[in-house]
């Protein structure tokens, strides 16, 4: 799999710059993403974490050009150095072969009356002109790689004959068939049992390394993102609030929201008398108070300065934080349970 030339030259594989998205909500154009910038290098796994309304799924949909009708998009999305926001037709299909997506609910994304093999080989046959028999063989090989027994028989089955975990493996295999350089994974294990999640994550992790695939892994689970991604991006109210190397996310967070989110989770290793809950509820971009830090109303560290302007992303210690108090709060944020 050859990563695009620009990536080889040290450029990021994916470069999202100042992405702002408005969607029609109750008859009005409302902001759901606000000035989102992020980069993913070839082969890198990046976590994208946030609660409801944070914009994490919208970011992935904007990248793969899957936003609902009526969406307004500003900003740039470059893949392999090439702008993708205006792609159409064959070019858009070719782009989606290189930037594949898997979803939380695989059943909602397959046609229930088409066989697994038909679904899996569609892109190969129609976009890449691979002969049908050849495509079936490749699909069977890929199913074996994601740990599915009797792949040839599975190709003749229908989606309802497979369990949720099995179907999600099929989706991963289908996504890998077009040899993408980037996988957008939108909560792919959230609907699965814990033990199945672990298996699917193991498969994703192995194949990603084997194929040199980059991944944007979207999840509400900070622990899961931190465990399997090189870097993690935390979103709140449609904005990026922190970018951090994953191993530092829990022990040394830069943004008060990241710290609060980690501290709010109960600990499997001990009962605490009280959890450190965050007051209020998560907001969407269009609900956030204008002209100030979006997290300020819920933040234990908010001061007057936080209400004066929307904070910029500040670089610190190899990470980024959208907090005006980032330097003075260094080392004071509640670290999560070890």
Contacts of 259 (CB under 8 A, 6+ apart): 253, 333, 334, 335, 336
- Pick the piece of the chain touching other proteins (CB under 8 A) from 82-90, 259-267, 285-293, 320-328: 259-267
Q: Does 237 bind other proteins (CB under 8 A)?
A: no
How near is the Cβ of 38 to other proteins at its closest, in Å? 22
Task: Pick the closer one to other proteins by CB: 115 or 265.
Answer: 265
How near is the Cβ of 65 to other proteins at its closest, in Å? 28
d(CA 315, CA 321): 7
Q: Does 9 bind other proteins (CB under 8 A)?
A: no
Q: Does 258 bind other proteins (CB under 8 A)?
A: no
Where are the alpha helices (H) located in the chain, listed in sequence order?
5-8, 56-63, 89-98, 116-128, 132-145, 151-155, 164-177, 194-211, 222-228, 246-249, 256-264
- Pick the piece of the chain touching other proteins (CB under 8 A) from 20-28, 179-187, 257-265, 312-320: 257-265
**Contact positions with other proteins (CB under 8 A) in 121-160:** 147
Q: Does 3 bind other proteins (CB under 8 A)?
A: no
How near is the Cβ of 314 to other proteins at its closest, in Å? 23
How near is the Cβ of 195 to other proteins at its closest, in Å? 5
d(CA 38, CA 235): 11
Out of 132, 227, 300, 315, point to the residue binding other proteins (CB under 8 A): 227
> For residue 209, how many C-alpha atoms fall within 13 Å in the half-sphere facing its CB?
8
Out of 269, 290, 291, 304, point to the residue binding other proteins (CB under 8 A): 269
Q: Does 334 bind other proteins (CB under 8 A)?
A: no
Out of 105, 122, 179, 221, point to the residue binding other proteins (CB under 8 A): 221
What are residue 22's phi and psi, to 5 degrees?
A: -115, 140
Q: Does 220 bind other proteins (CB under 8 A)?
A: yes
Task: Pick the closer one to other proteins by CB: 157 or 196.
Answer: 196
d(CA 28, CA 43): 39
Q: Does 107 bind other proteins (CB under 8 A)?
A: no
217 CB-contact burial (10 Å; exposed 0-12 / middle 13-18 / buried 19+): buried
Task: Pick the closer one to other proteins by CB: 15 or 186.
Answer: 186
Contacts of 295 (CB under 8 A, 6+ apart): 236, 237, 241, 255, 256, 257, 302
Contact 115, 158 (CB under 8 A): yes
Helices 164-177 & 132-145 angle (0-180, nearest 10): 130
Q: Does 226 bind other proteins (CB under 8 A)?
A: yes
Query: How many of the chain's residues bind other proteins (CB under 8 A)?
Result: 47
How near is the Cβ of 52 to other proteins at its closest, in Å? 5
**Contact positions with other proteins (CB under 8 A) in 282-301:** 282, 298
d(CA 155, CA 167): 12
Task: Pick the closer one to other proteins by CB: 59 or 189.
Answer: 189
Contacts of 124 (CB under 8 A, 6+ apart): 130, 135, 138, 139, 177, 178
Binding mask 180-199 for other proteins (x = CB under 8 A): -------------xxxxxxx
* Number of residues that this document lists for the chain: 338
What are residue 67's phi and psi, to 5 degrees?
A: -75, 150
Contact set with other proteins (CB under 8 A)? 51-52, 147, 193-199, 201-203, 205-206, 220-224, 226-228, 247, 250-251, 260-261, 264-272, 274-282, 298
């Amino acid at each position: 799999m050859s990563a695009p030339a620009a990536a080889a030259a040290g450029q990021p594989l994916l470069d999202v710059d100042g992405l702002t998205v408005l969607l029609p909500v109750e008859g009005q154009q409302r902001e759901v993403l606000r000035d989102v910038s992020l980069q993913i290098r070839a082969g890198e796994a990046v976590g994208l974490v946030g609660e409801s309304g944070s914009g994490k799924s919208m970011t992935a949909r904007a990248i793969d050009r899957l936003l609902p009708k009526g969406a307004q998009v500003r900003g740039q999305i470059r893949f392999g150095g090439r702008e993708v926001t205006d792609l159409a037709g064959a070019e858009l299909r070719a782009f989606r072969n290189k930037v594949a997506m898997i979803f939380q609910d695989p059943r909602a994304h397959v046609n229930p009356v088409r066989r697994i093999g038909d679904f899996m080989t569609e892109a190969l046959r129609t976009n890449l002109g691979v002969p049908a028999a050849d495509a079936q063989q490749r699909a069977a090989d890929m199913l074996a790689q994601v740990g599915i027994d009797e792949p040839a028989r599975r190709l003749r089955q229908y989606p309802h004959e497979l369990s949720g975990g099995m179907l999600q493996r099929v989706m991963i295999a289908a996504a890998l068939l077009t040899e993408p350089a980037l996988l957008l994974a939108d909560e792919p294990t959230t609907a699965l049992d814990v033990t199945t999640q672990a298996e699917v994550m193991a498969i994703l992790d192995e194949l990603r390394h084997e194929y040199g695939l980059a991944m944007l892994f979207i999840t509400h689970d900070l622990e899961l993102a931190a465990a399997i991604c090189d870097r993690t991006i935390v979103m709140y109210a449609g904005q990026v609030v922190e970018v951090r190397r994953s191993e530092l996310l829990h022990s040394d967070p830069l943004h008060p929201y990241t710290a609060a989110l980690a501290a709010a989770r109960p600990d499997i290793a001990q009962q605490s008398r009280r959890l450190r809950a965050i007051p209020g509820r998560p907001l969407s971009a269009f609900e956030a108070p204008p002209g100030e830090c979006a997290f300020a109303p819920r933040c234990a560290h908010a001061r007057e300065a936080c209400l004066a302007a929307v904070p910029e992303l500040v670089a610190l210690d190899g990470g980024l934080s959208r907090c005006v108090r980032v330097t003075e709060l260094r080392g004071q944020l509640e670290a999560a349970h070890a």
